[in-house]
Every structure is written in C-alpha cells, then in structure tokens.
Amino acid sequence: MNIAARLGVAALVSLLSVGAKAQTVEEFFKGKTISFIIGSDPGGSFDPYARALAEHMPKYIPGNPKIVTKFAGGQSGGLQVANQMHNTIARDGLTIAMTQQTIVLHQVLQPEYAKYDAREWIWLGNMAPVRNMLSVWHTAKAKSVAQARDHEVVIGATGPSSPTYIVPNILNKFVGTKFKIVTGYKGAADLNLAMMRGEVEGRGASWLSVQLALPREIEEKKIIPIVFASITRDPSAPDVPTLAEVMTDPLHKRVAEFLSAESDFGRSAFLPPGVPADRANALRAAFDQMMKDKDFLAEADKLKIYVEHITGDDLARITKLIVEAPKDVIDLAK
C-alpha cells in the first residue's frame, strides 16, 4: 500500500507537471487582460502613444489579449511606477509599463529612492526618442540661456526627479542662470495651464508634449524653447542649442551629455524582471511587429505623434552604459 501510494503521488505530480509545461504562450494570454501602467497623467504626450500601443499591439500577441491603460501620475519622474514594476508586480507577463525617460538616470543619481535595477528589466522597445527641453512663455524677461543669467525666470516643475526640474537645475549649477524652480505640478497639462495663467514663466519636459498640446502657441511664438536636453538638436527647432552646447567646462559638457542620453528612452515599454522567457519574447516580437504595422503608423500620423523605433536590445545596451558610466561623471551629476 505504501509503495502504491508513492507511485500514485508520483504519477499525479508527473501529470500536473506535464500539464503545466504543455501550456503555450497563446494559451496563457488567451482571454487575459494586460495592464499597461503609465507613469504620467492623461493629457500629455504619453497619452496618444499609450492609446496607440493598446489598440494595435494585441493583434500580434499570441492569444490576442486586451491591453488596458492605467495612468499612475508622473510625479517624481515616475519613480513610483518603476519601483512598483521592479518589486511588487507579478512577473507573469500581464503587466507592462511606460514611464518617464529619466528613469534609468534616477537609478544612478538617486539610489536612495530608486529601488530597482533597470539592467534587469526586459525592454520591449521604444516608440520614439523624446527630447526634453526648457521653454519660456513670451512674457518672460529672459528668452535665452544667456539672458537667464541676468534675469530671474520662474519655472514650473513636477518634482526633483523629473526633467522639468533637472534641466533648469543643471543650468543654474553649471551656467549660472537664475531660474526659480517651483515644484508640485502634476504633469504636462498642469504645467501648460500654470504657464498660460501666469503662475510660472516657463516649463520643461518633452518638446513633443508641447507640440501636441500647444501647436498654435508655438506657431505664434508664445512659447519659446531655449535649450534641449538631447544629444542632437531637434529638427523642428534647429537654432536652439543642446544642453551640452551651452557648457564651457569639459567635465560639465560630459555630464550634460550623460544626462541627455535619457532622450533615447522616450516612450519605451518594459516588463519587470523574471517574466518567463517565452512570454517576454512573444511580447517583444509583438512590439517590433506593431512598429511596422501600417494601421499603427496611420494612427500615429493621425495623432500627430513622431515614431522612431528603438529595439529592446538597444535600450538594454544604453541602460548598461548609463548605469556603468565613469565615476567622475556620475559624482558630478549627482
């Protein structure tokens, strides 16, 4: 009886094991819903990218699960979403995220708050690089970085981990500008409203968010970009310098380039570490296929969002370069 019982248990374990192994990626995702957590408020430039992905990526995922977007707010540069994805989200492939493009830099610059290692994330890919910038309203006394050395300009920001704060702050530290940074705003839409009401005289974040929300104000030169935190100049504003270009000290220039590397993360989607390889590979492949899909590209054109595919492998490589940057650059950036 004892031997028979043991054999019975062994047979049951074997049967369950075979059943678990037999489940395909398609069978796992079929009928499921994938949560797409966005580290931003709705209404900014994250919104149309998130909606386009949620609509077009599912048809390329085996089993065709639904994707539902959940906006979690962009305070502190999306740190809350990053920490959540790394530490508490189930690692089953049913949650993906897109958060602020500075999130990899946060790991290096603010390790006391960044409780994650982005090198362990599974990057699906980037829909578009996004150049952060600093812009001023047309009534501001200073309309260039040089003029801001002589005149105080009130700049709105979400929090110290956000590019809305980082760009004017580094200019104050390295170039001697007089930007007065006011934090606490919820996101791009909130900053735009504050600027138009006269509460602040300028705001940072992505230039894309301004192009989407305030195209007329750009055309009428009511909002004026004065610097871009990017490796290259923005094609739509070729006369506006990059952050590195306004630096005179060689080390300051290297720090500016280091901080500007985050533009490559733009509107990137990622999985937490530990997702089963077959599911992660299927989601990566679905993202890559979506980026070539004619309906997705037509939707992007309709929404007036810029599309430039950067692969998950490239994002993983850039992540490693940022996290493992030279100590003198990291120390000064901190």
Question: Each residue of 181-226: pLDDT tens digit?
Answer: 999 998 888 999 999 999 999 999 888 888 888 999 999 999 999 9
Q: What is the pLDDT of residue 304?
A: 86
Each residue of 279-300: pLDDT tens digit? 999 999 999 999 999 999 999 9
pLDDT band at residue 267 using 50, 70 and 90 as cut-offs:
very high
Residue 188 is predicted with a pLDDT of 84
Q: Predicted confidence band at 301 (pLDDT cuts at 50, 70, 90)? A: very high
Q: Which domain holds residue 165?
A: 132-262
pLDDT digits (tens, 9 = 90+) for 74-85: 666 588 899 999
Last residue within a domain, chosen from 220, 236, 262: 262
Shared-domain flag, residues 113 and 151: no
Q: What tens digit of pLDDT does each residue of 108-140 get?
A: 988 999 999 999 999 999 999 888 899 999 999
Structure tokens at 188: 């791009």
161 and 198 fall within a common domain? yes
Cβ burial, residue 228 (10 Å; 0-12/13-18/19+): buried
272 assigned to some structural domain: yes
Is 96 domain-assigned?
A: yes
Q: Are residues 139 and 253 in the same domain?
A: yes
Instruction: Specify the length of the chain in residues.
Output: 334
Within-domain flag for 27: no
Residue at 87 is within a domain: yes
Are 197 and 80 in the same domain?
no
d(CA 268, CA 261): 14
Decide if pLDDT at 13 tops 70: no
CATH number at residue 237: 3.40.190.10
Please check whether residues 41 and 71 belong to one and the same domain.
yes
End-to-end CA distance of the chain: 69
Q: Domain for residue 293, yes or no?
A: yes
The CATH number for 73's domain is 3.40.190.150
Residues 146 and 246 in one domain: yes
> What's the whole-number mean pLDDT along residues 272-281?
98
Structural domains counted in the chain: 2
Domain boundary among 246, 262, 278: 262
188 shares its domain with 249: yes
CB < 8 Å & 24+ apart, contacts of 164-170: 164/191, 164/203, 164/204, 164/205, 165/204, 166/102, 166/132, 166/204, 166/229, 166/259, 167/132, 167/133, 167/134, 167/204, 167/227, 167/229, 167/243, 168/134, 168/202, 168/204, 170/243, 170/255, 170/256, 170/259
Please enumerate in sequence order all residues whose Cβ is within 8 A of that of 197, keeping only pairs 6 or more positions apart, or say none: none
122 and 183 belong to one structural domain: no
Residue 309 domain-assigned? yes
Q: Please check whether residues 66 and 163 belong to one and the same domain.
A: no
Q: Count CB atoms within 10 A of the CB of residue 195.
A: 27
Percent of all residues in the chain with a pLDDT value above 90, rounded to a whole number: 71
Q: What is the pLDDT of residue 19?
A: 47
User: What pLDDT is attached to residue 27?
Assistant: 97
Answer yes or no: is 22 within a domain. no
218 shares a domain with 205: yes
- Which residues share a beta bridge with 206? 132
Domain final residue, candidates 262, 288, 319: 262
State the chain's mean pLDDT as an integer.
90
Residue 23 in any domain: the answer is: no
d(CA 261, CA 252): 14
